[in-house]
């Protein structure tokens, strides 16, 4: 039994924040499943690194180029093939956990983050094309993304809501999930078959807030606000999904929308490399972890329920930010805006790299 299995016994699922053809071809993904990984997340940055940063896709790109496929078609063919293979590998996990875990996430085009209708069309198409029950479509928690998410849930499409940084983001998403489940029930759908996670980003908050704390001369709080913020969100999760508003759907077998801790690699080398795993352990949660952090946690992570510890201190820390004129709400909104832009840039860079590879391979 590994530390990841021990976390699962505490009620936390560990997903792998990475996917590539190399990991699938080498058998590494199956070894990760055996070690306790129970799901996979992807994003444009991950696909950029996988496709543009390796030669593992070159044969497929050469073949697709010979067939006359354009860059968009090449990308989608490569990405959907990897996502589908991973979903098939994780299908036994999905079955064994009765649909709690075993999901593989793929993100809608980040350039659609501010277009509700286009997001809906793209999400439906991806879900139908992949045609597997353990697929999750990633939709951003933008003002345009949240209504799309609510509608997708009402249609029985699993959704991973991403790029959440604030309690405002979290509460809007949680309530949209409940409304979506309510509509699904009203339409005669089986609410026990729908699943969703709310991806709450962590380490990027410390990166941004630490700078503001340094400017305010409050370095003692550095490295603590991201965890405090996540604990506050977890408290809201507990309140919302233990309320009478949710209970009727729980009685029908509906799953809660679990918080998923994202961006959990340690950006500051002065902080422990398992900080955002060790301090965010609690039942009914997911933590999606990049490769280096998985290795570190398996080696020396601490398994103990920590999310419900020192919540009063976390609340005081968040409240104190107002006293020193650090606007957490503004910082977290800027982080979401930057996140959408970053994923869009990665998406563009990846397509540019595919175009260059296609031309080079055809010329060769």
Start-end of H helices in the chain: 3-9, 21-25, 28-35, 44-47, 58-66, 71-96, 116-130, 145-154, 167-186, 203-216, 225-240, 244-251, 275-278, 291-300, 311-323, 328-363
Pick from 112, 161, 117: which is nearest to 140 by CA? Answer: 161
Residue 126's contacts (CB-CB under 8 Å, 6 or more residues apart) are 80, 106, 108, 135, 137
Sign of CA dihedral 175, 181, 184, 185: negative
Q: How far apart are CA 71 and CA 361, in angstroms?
A: 13
Told to judge if 138 belongs to the known catalytic residues of this protein, a careful annotator would answer: yes
Q: Residue 187 is encoded by which pair of tokens?
A: 């339409």
- Which helix (DSSP H) or strand (DSSP E) does residue 200 occupy? strand 196-201
Q: How far apart are CA 265 and CA 288, in angstroms?
A: 10
Q: Output the furthest CA–CA distance in the chain (Å, rounded).
A: 65
As a whole number of Å, the end-to-end CA separation of the chain is 49
Long-range contacts: 29-33, Cβ < 8 Å, 24+? 29/86, 29/89, 30/89, 32/294, 33/89, 33/90, 33/93
Q: Residue 313 is encoded by which pair of tokens?
A: 């201190």
How wide is the angle at C-alpha 205 spanned by C-alphas 320 and 227, nearest 5°?
A: 65
**Catalytic pick among 138, 231, 351, 357:** 138
Tell me the catalytic residues: 138
């Amino acid at each position: 039994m590994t530390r990841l299995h021990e976390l699962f016994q505490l009620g936390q699922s560990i997903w792998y924040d990475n996917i590539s053809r190399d990991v699938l071809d080498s058998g590494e993904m199956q070894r990760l499943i055996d070690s306790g990984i129970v799901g996979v997340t992807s994003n444009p940055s991950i696909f950029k690194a996988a496709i543009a940063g390796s030669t593992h896709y070159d044969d497929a790109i050469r073949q697709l180029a010979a067939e006359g496929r354009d860059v968009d078609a090449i990308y989608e063919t490569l990405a959907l093939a990897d996502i589908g293979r991973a979903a098939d590998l994780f299908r036994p996990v999905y079955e064994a956990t009765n649909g709690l875990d075993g999901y593989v996430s793929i993100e809608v085009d980040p350039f659609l983050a501010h277009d509700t209708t286009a997001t809906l069309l793209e999400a439906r198409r991806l879900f139908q094309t992949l045609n597997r029950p353990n697929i999750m479509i990633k939709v951003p928690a933008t003002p345009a993304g949240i209504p799309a998410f609510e509608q997708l849930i009402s249609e029985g499409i699993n959704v991973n809501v991403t790029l959440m940084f604030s309690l405002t983001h979290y509460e809007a998403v949680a309530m949209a999930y409940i409304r979506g489940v309510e509509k699904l029930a009203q339409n005669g759908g089986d609410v026990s078959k729908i699943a969703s996670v709310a991806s709450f980003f962590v380490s990027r908050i410390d990166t941004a807030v630490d700078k503001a704390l340094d400017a305010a001369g409050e370095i003692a709080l550095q490295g603590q606000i991201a965890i405090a913020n996540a604990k506050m969100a977890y408290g809201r999760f507990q309140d919302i999904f233990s309320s009478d508003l949710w209970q009727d759907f729980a009685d029908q077998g509906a799953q809660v929308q679990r918080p998923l801790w994202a961006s959990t690699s340690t950006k500051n080398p002065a902080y422990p490399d398992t900080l955002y795993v060790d301090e965010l352990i609690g039942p009914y949660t997911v933590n999606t972890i990049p490769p280096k952090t998985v290795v570190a946690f398996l080696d020396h992570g601490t398994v103990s329920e920590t999310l419900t510890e020192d919540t009063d201190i976390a609340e005081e820390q968040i409240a104190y930010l107002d006293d020193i004129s650090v606007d957490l709400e503004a910082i977290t909104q800027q982080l979401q805006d930057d996140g959408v832009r970053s994923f869009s840039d990665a998406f563009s860079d990846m397509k540019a790299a595919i175009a260059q590879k296609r031309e080079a391979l055809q010329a060769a």
